[in-house]
């Protein structure tokens, strides 16, 4: 362990925790530079480094007023503040796709999307698929008819990704659809039945 300590040598008087924090802070600043607004640019409406916290989101066709922290992810807002717990968090690092929602019809990982970046855009979660009367969306109905998914934790993400993909390719082959949803992970690994269900749903969508 001695070599390790030597390798992590730090300035005198600084604790290990302070040292690590300073390294992380340096990294954050370096990474964030391209994201910072240009001086005197469009972001000049609010004080530097701040955002309006009480915002309006358009979610599942409804306008929702919500208090959003600057560093809050869309998954946190949807799950924790709007009660849309159909949005699942599987990895929190854009690896598994369980948190996928549509933003202006495009699938995004909500765990890795800041809520403030989607203001004014149309957000659709799995809760917004079925009709208010309870009639399932054709995509949901297709999966239901084929008994798709096992534990179901990945299901909302797969449905939203598939819906986004089908908007660009309504009549895909099995292989094309597999590529279209390949950013989503199913740990039960019942991929065959998932694809069969989603293809059935695509067929129902085409039939209207």
Partner 1 sequence: MPTDAALFTPNLTGRDYTTPDLRAKLTGAARYAEDFRAEGMLACRLLTSPMPHARVARLDTRAAQGMPGVRAILTADELPPPADSVADSGATIKASPWAEPALSMEPLHQGAPVLAVAAVDDATAVAAIEAIEIEFAPLPFVTDPLDSLRPGGPDARTGGNVWLPPARAGEQAAVGRLKWTDEDFRAAGPGRLPMGKAAAEWSYGDVEAGFRQSALVLDESFVTPNVSHQALETRSTLAWWENGKLFLAAGTQSTIQTVPAIARWLNMDPKDIVFLSEYTGGGFGGKITASVSVIIPALLSRKANAPVMLRVTREEEQYIGRARPSLAGRMKAGFSPEGRLLALDLFVVQDNGPYEQQHDAAIAGRMGSLLYQPQAMRWRGVPVLTNTPVRGAQTAPGGLQVSAFMGPLLAKAARRLNLDPLDVCRINAPAGRAPVGPPRPDGTLNAATSAFVREALDKGAQAFRWGERRARPADAGTVRRGIGVATGCFVAGTVGFDGLFVITPEGRLRIHCGVGNLGTESFSDVQRVLADAMDVPWEACEILWGNTARHLPWSCISGGSQTIHSMSRAALAAALDARRKLVGIAAATLGGVPEDYDVGGGRVFRRGDGRGLSLGEAARRAIELGGAYDGHECPDDVHGMTRTAVAALAGQGLVAVARDAFPRDGQSYSYVAAFAEVELDTETGMYRITDFHAEADAGRVVHPRAFGGQMVGRSMLGIGHATTQKWFYDTRYGLPVAKRFHQTRPPTILSMPERFTWGAVGIPDPQTPVGARGIGEPPTGAACAAVLCALAHAMGDDAFIRAPVMADAVLAAMEPENGKNRANRPRGLSANV
Q: Which residues of the shown chain bind partner 1 in the complex (CB under 8 A)?
A: 1, 4, 17, 79, 83-93, 95-96, 98, 125-127, 129-130, 136, 140, 143-147, 149-156, 159, 178-179, 181-182, 184-195
Burial 146-171 (b: 16+ CB within 10 A, else e): bebbeeebbbbbbbbbbbbbbeeeee
Shortest Å distance, C-beta 118 to partner 1: 19
Residue (37 or 168) nearer to partner 1, CB: 168
- Taking a C-beta distance cutoff of 8 angstroms, is the pair 73, 115 a contact? yes
Residue (74 or 181) nearer to partner 1, CB: 181
Shortest Å distance, C-beta 58 to partner 1: 18
φ and ψ at residue 42, rounded to 5 degrees: -65, -20
Residue 74: both structure tokens together: 């869309």
Continuous segment of H or E residues that includes residue 132: none
Residue (19 or 145) nearer to partner 1, CB: 145
Shortest Å distance, C-beta 20 to partner 1: 10
Shortest Å distance, C-beta 158 to partner 1: 9
Residue (15 or 38) nearer to partner 1, CB: 15
Strands 100-103 vs 62-67: parallel, antiparallel or unpaired: unpaired
Residue (37 or 182) nearer to partner 1, CB: 182
φ and ψ at residue 29, rounded to 5 degrees: -65, -45
Shortest Å distance, C-beta 156 to partner 1: 6
- The gap from C-alpha 121 to its chain's centroid, in whole angstroms, comes to 14
Gap between the Cα atoms of 129 and 146, Å rounded: 18
Residue (43 or 178) nearer to partner 1, CB: 178
- Tell me if residue 144 falls in helix, strand or coil: helix
Shortest Å distance, C-beta 50 to partner 1: 18
């Amino acid at each position: 362990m001695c070599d390790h300590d030597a390798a992590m040598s730090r300035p005198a008087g600084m604790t290990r925790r302070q040292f690590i924090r300073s390294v992380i802070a340096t990294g954050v600043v370096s990474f964030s530079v391209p994201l910072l607004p240009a001086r005197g640019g469009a972001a000049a409406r609010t004080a530097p480094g701040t955002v309006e916290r009480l915002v309006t989101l358009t979610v599942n066709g409804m306008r929702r007023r919500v208090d959003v922290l600057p560093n809050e992810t869309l998954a946190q807002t949807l799950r924790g503040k709007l009660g849309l717990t159909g949005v699942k968090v599987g990895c929190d690092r854009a690896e598994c796709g369980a948190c996928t929602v549509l933003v202006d019809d495009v699938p995004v990982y909500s765990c890795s999307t800041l809520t403030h970046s989607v203001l004014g855009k149309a957000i659709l979660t799995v809760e917004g698929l079925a009709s208010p009367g309870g009639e399932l969306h054709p995509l949901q109905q297709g999966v239901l008819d084929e008994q798709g998914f096992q534990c179901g934790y990945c299901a909302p993400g797969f449905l939203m990704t598939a819906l986004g993909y089908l908007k660009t390719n309504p009549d895909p082959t099995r292989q094309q659809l597999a590529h279209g949803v390949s950013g989503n992970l199913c740990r039960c690994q019942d991929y065959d039945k998932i694809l069969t269900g989603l293809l059935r749903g695509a067929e129902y969508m085409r039939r209207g």
